[in-house]
Amino acid sequence: MTPAARIEAVIELLAEILATPRPADTLTSAYFRARRFIGSGDRKAVVTRLYRIMRGYHRLSWWIERCGEKVSARTLVIASLIFDKEQNMASLEKMFSGAQYAPGQLTHHEREMAKDLEGQDFMPDDMPLRARSECPEWAFEPLRNVLGEGFEAEMKKMMEPAPLDLRVNTLKAERAAVLAQLQKEGIDAHEGQISPLCIRVFGRPPIAQHNLYKEGAFEIQDEGSQMVALVANAKPGEQVADFCAGAGGKTLALGASMNNKGRIVAMDVLGKRLNRAKERFRRAGLHNIETRPLTSERDKYVKRHAGHFDLVLVDAPCTGTGTWRRDPDKRWKELGPGLSTLVPLQKDILDSACRMVKPGGRLVYATCSLLPEENERQVEAFLAAHPDFTLAPARDIVQAAGSDDYLQLRPSAHDTDGFFAAVLIRRKQEDAAA
């Protein structure tokens, strides 16, 4: 692809992302599947530019509107090219030539906007804090309240690309051996900082094409997500329910922790995601997992299996504020229910899932959110309503920074996605009686 054709691809893809209520990563994958003629180098160039624009969406939009223009895929791309100093007016005219595979010619208004932007400071002093911090309006005050003086530092960190982390599958490999193999092949890989199973890879190699990945020696999983599975502390021989299993990332980690002994039931209301997870389970060599689609959080299966499980993990649906580095479109695009809908849903899920925990068993509640409404307050409300449960301090289970009563990981402090986890123990009958 020519440089102009790459820019046109970014415009096409960004226009679809802006117009479609689906996640950017899903739309990007579908875009390239339909255009298999686009080579790997061109795909990487298009995706790199696309995500750079999405990470600067609020700041670029502020400038575009300040120039009196409407925010669109074309104006976002034009503004980005100017601010990245990759184009000036003369070269921009040549790039937007209207030739085959190139973007259409600049309109009069686009040309005037580009002239106004040329030479400007991308983040001037009069840019509002919400725009310069790339924070959506609905989350601005809640995050400022919880982060306090650390708000700007946290938001700045979340403008960076997310790292590429691997979780070594201990059923098939050891971290030292996998790390040595990757380094031998010239891949820039290092041990993770807080998870004993993590390898962090730099430079974005095509890791999913690696033989070790295909053989199930490792999975791609954020280090923070790995820590949630570690704090759940699934043991060989236990009966485990992954209540909101989704695509099965944490289910895989639980299965490896159990050394394939015992039983895991991966549950979710999205049955298609569970079906897709089955291939991941097979590749990892896990045979102690069964899948169970649920009609809702109060599916009859839950009632029938009351008091049956040693461990129930609830990786609850949430706003995903902790994953903005990985999913920057969540900052400015509605991709699901809002906070006012999610908080009561989380409560209902906890109220239902807790029934499955046997006396002495563990209920682990987790989110990828930074908001206390979804985290500490949710747990406090649950404990007040369920006196037969008590909090087990996370620091007693995993010795890692960010572990106190709760596991709380943040991008600025731990260079992971933002994660929260609480371990709740159901009292044994004799304890409750005492």
**Cβ pair 213, 235 in contact under 8 A:** no
**Cβ pair 149, 83 in contact under 8 A:** no
Longest Cα–Cα distance in the chain? 81
H or E element at residue 188 = strand 188-191
Q: Any residues with CB less than 8 A from the CB of 227 and at least 6 apart, and which?
A: 194, 195, 398, 400, 402, 407, 409, 416, 419, 421
Helices and strands in the chain: count of H runs, count of E runs: 20, 12
**Cβ pair 309, 241 in contact under 8 A:** yes
Torsion of CA 97, 99, 103, 105, to 10 degrees: 40
- CA 234 – CA 312 distance, rounded (Å): 10
CB neighbour class for 366 (10 Å; exposed up to 12, middle 13-18, buried from 19): buried
- CA 200 – CA 191 distance, rounded (Å): 6
- CA 113 – CA 3 distance, rounded (Å): 22
- CA 109 – CA 119 distance, rounded (Å): 18
Closest CA to 163 of 229, 207, 213, 212: 207
Tell me how long the chain is. Answer: 434
Residue 392, token pair as written in the block: 């087990």
Residues designated catalytic? 368
φ/ψ bin of 237: left (φ > 0), alpha (ψ from -120 to 50), beta (otherwise): left
CB neighbour class for 152 (10 Å; exposed up to 12, middle 13-18, buried from 19): middle
Paired sense of beta strands 164-168 and 419-426, if any? unpaired
- CA 416 – CA 162 distance, rounded (Å): 8
Axis-axis angle for helices 40-55, 24-33 (nearest 10): 160
Distance set, CA 329 to CA 216, 321, 324 (Å):
30, 11, 8
Q: What is the DSSP letter of 312?
A: E
